[in-house]
Amino acid sequence: MDLPVYFISDTHLMLEASEQEKARRAKLFGFLRHVRSTGGTLFIVGDIFDYYFEYKDVIPKIYFDFFHELYLVKNAGIDIHYVLGNHDYWVMDFITEDLTTHTYFEDMSINVNGKSFYITHGDGHLSWDYGYRLLKAVIQSKPFIWLYRWVHPNIGYMFGNWISKRGKHYDHDETYNKKILDDLKIFASKLTENGTDFVICGHYHQATVEDVGPGKLVILGDWLTFFTYGVFDGNEFSIQKWDENA
């Protein structure tokens, strides 16, 4: 795998063309151009879109600018690994074949330069999240996806966008963030104690690298408030804040 390895998650591209959204996308596209210029490998760790559902012959035109930038990254010979998130799980061949090199519908493990990585979007791993795990099993099931694709795309996107906006809960107080982090450390410790060097996740909208036993837990942050990404140079892993003027 080519170095450096970049990790990004939770950009939550919106189905809108507001000035704020345009500014966020400009930052993201600057980062993607940086990846293109340095080479390496790119991991997208879920929720690149706030809502995405791909039909056999239909894709949402409002994401065209992002599709173009990501295609340029792939066309530059950079491998793009996409671990699907809870907002953008419902992909088809446009994502899996045209825009990415590898797409993962489940958590995945990989070795890079002698280091072991466990990569997950992160949703459903909190010990108390029973209701969500049930919901996830239903809406990511093949029967549900097959039925939903019979809904007209305009209606499907209108409904999906409504549900997505109703579910926004990206900002938490410090007490709740600590509760999440402590629980994730328990989840990660089971992996690091068995030889995993880095447990990488998104979803929780925190930006941190935490020591967990002999390994590390990494939460990648987001591109709503943090504008952060992870970098593994072959030896060390770091969380960096995107500086468009760098």
Tens-binned pLDDT, residue by residue, of the chain (246 aa): 999 999 999 999 998 889 999 999 999 999 999 999 999 999 999 999 999 999 999 899 999 999 999 999 999 999 999 999 999 999 999 999 999 999 999 999 999 999 999 999 999 999 999 998 999 999 999 999 999 999 999 998 888 778 776 556 566 778 888 999 999 999 999 999 999 999 999 999 999 999 999 999 999 999 999 999 999 999 999 999 998 765
Whether the CA torsion 120, 122, 126, 130 is positive or negative: it is negative
Domain CATH code at residue 22: 3.60.21.10
Residue 202: the pLDDT is 96
Report yes or no on 49 lying in a domain: yes
Task: Tell me the pTM.
Answer: 0.94
Report yes or no on 145 lying in a domain: yes
Residue 166: the pLDDT is 57
| Distance of alpha carbon 13 from alpha carbon 224, whole angstroms | 9
Report yes or no on 144 lying in a domain: yes
Beta strand ranges found along the chain (DSSP E):
5-8, 41-44, 79-83, 102-104, 108-112, 115-120, 198-201, 207-212, 215-220, 228-232, 237-241
Report yes or no on 47 lying in a domain: yes
Report yes or no on 26 lying in a domain: yes
- Beta pairing partners, 41: 5, 79
Task: Using alpha carbons, select from 190, 243, 179 the residue that is nearest to residue 217.
Answer: 190
Q: How many domains, the chain?
A: 1
The DSSP bridge pattern shows strands 215-220 and 79-83 to be unpaired
Helix axes 19-38, 64-75, angle to 10 degrees: 0
Conformational region of residue 76, where left means phi above 0, alpha means psi within -120 to 50, and beta covers everything else: alpha
Task: Using alpha carbons, select from 8, 161, 169 the residue that is nearest to residue 87.
Answer: 161
Buried (b) or exposed (e) across 65-78, using 16+ Cβ within 10 A? bbbebbeebbeeeb
The tokens describing 90, both together, are 């419902």
Report yes or no on 246 lying in a domain: no
| Distance of alpha carbon 124 from alpha carbon 164, whole angstroms | 17
Residue 228 and residue 240 in contact, taking contact as beta carbons nearer than 8 Å: yes
> Where in the sequence is the domain holding 182, given as residue range(s)?
5-241
The tokens describing 26, both together, are 């400009």
